[in-house]
Amino acid sequence: MGRKFFVGGNWKCNGTTEEVKKIIAVLNGAQVPSGDVVDVVVSPPFVFLPLVQSLLRSDFHVAAQNCWVHKGGAFTGEVSAEMLANLGVPWVIIGHSERRLILNESSEFIGDKVAYALSQGLKVIACVGETLEQRESGSTIDVVYAQTKAIADKISSWDNVVLAYEPVWAIGTGEVATPAQAQEVHHQLRKWLHRNVSAEVAQSVRIIYGGSVNGSNCKELAGLPDLDGFLVGGASLKPEFVDIINSSL
Ligand SMILES: O=C(CO)COP(=O)(O)O
């Protein structure tokens, strides 16, 4: 069985109620393949999750952009995995580079978060990726292996995990990875899963790419053998997100 294409839209810390309604109207009117062909997940800021859930077509789903690492409690400003499950939010993005780098989340902390979110029945988009400095020093593969290992060490099943490779130097820069660069890292990640988890998991886990994906560059990337979809930032707030959803056709 092939891996189902997956397209996530990470809205990051953007949007007003009016803007949310506008982008949802575009998505709801879009001609896209059925949910059997592509998983579409949009990830608004926490405060807009109920609004998006109430308006969004039923074949698309929502993701939170983060959650607390363990059970909720006295953690001011945090949102727990239990709360997301209680709201019927099926997905959560964990380990985005903006949280790793700006909020100093360690790989170990991210591994704990992924494990806890899974334990609460959430599905996880787990992000890995190297900085420009790491790429230039030749350590890309070591970095993404270590980030992936920190997750693998904490979880017992990859059934509900999508792995997102997002090179930091490509995020929000307009400098998308070349098809060769993306394919190389995705292939190496699949090899790592094969060696360290299982052949079955290596075969079935979706590895998606993020970093300056847009309506014009998505098609070529979508055809790569080890690339199973996208995690889209800026372009997920625009009508071209529909082209990205359709890029595997
Ligand atoms: O960080 C990203 C998605 O999580 C990618 O962002 P951009 O598509 O804006 O480069």
For 3-22, write each residue's pLDDT tens digit: 999 999 999 999 999 999 99
pLDDT mean over 172-182: 98
Q: Is the CB of 233 under 6 A from ligand 1?
A: yes
The verdict on the CB of residue 125 being under 6 Å from ligand 1 is: no
Q: Is the CB of 171 under 6 A from ligand 1?
A: yes
Helix extents (H) in the chain: 17-28, 49-55, 81-87, 97-102, 107-119, 132-136, 140-152, 179-196, 199-204, 218-222, 241-245
Show the tokens assigned to 105: 């989340």
30-38: average pLDDT: 91
Rounded Cα distance, 241 and 247, in Å: 10
What tens digit of pLDDT does each residue of 144-153 get?
999 999 999 9
Q: Is 224 exposed, middle or buried (0-12, 13-18, 19+ CB in 10 A)?
A: middle
Question: Residue 120 has what pLDDT?
Answer: 98
pLDDT at 104: 98
What mean pLDDT do residues 190-195 have?
98
Instruction: Give pTM, 2 decimals.
Output: 0.98
Mutate to test the pocket of ligand 1, among 12, 13, 131, 237 (most ligand atoms within 8 A of CB): 12
Q: Please identify which residue in the block is written with the tokens 């405060």.
A: 47
The CATH number that applies at residue 44 is 3.20.20.70
**Ligand 1 pocket residue status of 107, Cβ below 6 Å:** no
Mean pLDDT of 220-239: 98
Mean pLDDT of the 57-68 span: 98
Residue having the nearest C-alpha atom to atom 6 of ligand 1? 233
Per the annotation, the verdict on 194 as an active-site residue is no
Give Cβ neighbours of residue 155 (< 8 Å, ≥ 6 apart): 111, 114, 115, 118, 161
CA distance 125 to 63: 9
Active site residue 96: yes
**140-152 vs 107-119: helix axis angle to the nearest 10?**
40
Residue 98 CA, closest ligand 1 atom number: 1
For residues 156-178, give the mean pLDDT: 98
Quick one: average pLDDT of 131-143? 98
Per-residue pLDDT at 34: 86
- ipTM (interface pTM): 0.99
Give me the residues paired with residue 40 across strands: 7, 60
Pick the atom of ligand 1 nearest to 97's CA: 1
71-130 residue pLDDT tens: 999 999 999 999 999 999 999 999 999 999 999 999 999 999 999 999 999 999 999 999
Q: Which amino acid is at 192?
A: W
Average pLDDT, whole number, for the chain?
Answer: 98
- From atom 3 of ligand 1, which residue's Cα is the shortest distance away? 233
What's the domain range around 185?
Answer: 5-245
Separation of CA 236 and ligand 1 centre (Å): 9
Give how many domains the chain has, as a whole number.
1
180 CA to centre of ligand 1 in angstroms: 19
Longest dimension (CA), the chain: 48
| pLDDT at 192 exceeding the cut of 70 | yes
Confidence class for position 181, pLDDT limits 50, 70, 90? very high
Band (pLDDT 50/70/90 cuts) for residue 35 is: confident
pLDDT of 1 reads 60
Question: Do 240 and 15 form a contact (C-beta atoms < 8 A)?
Answer: no
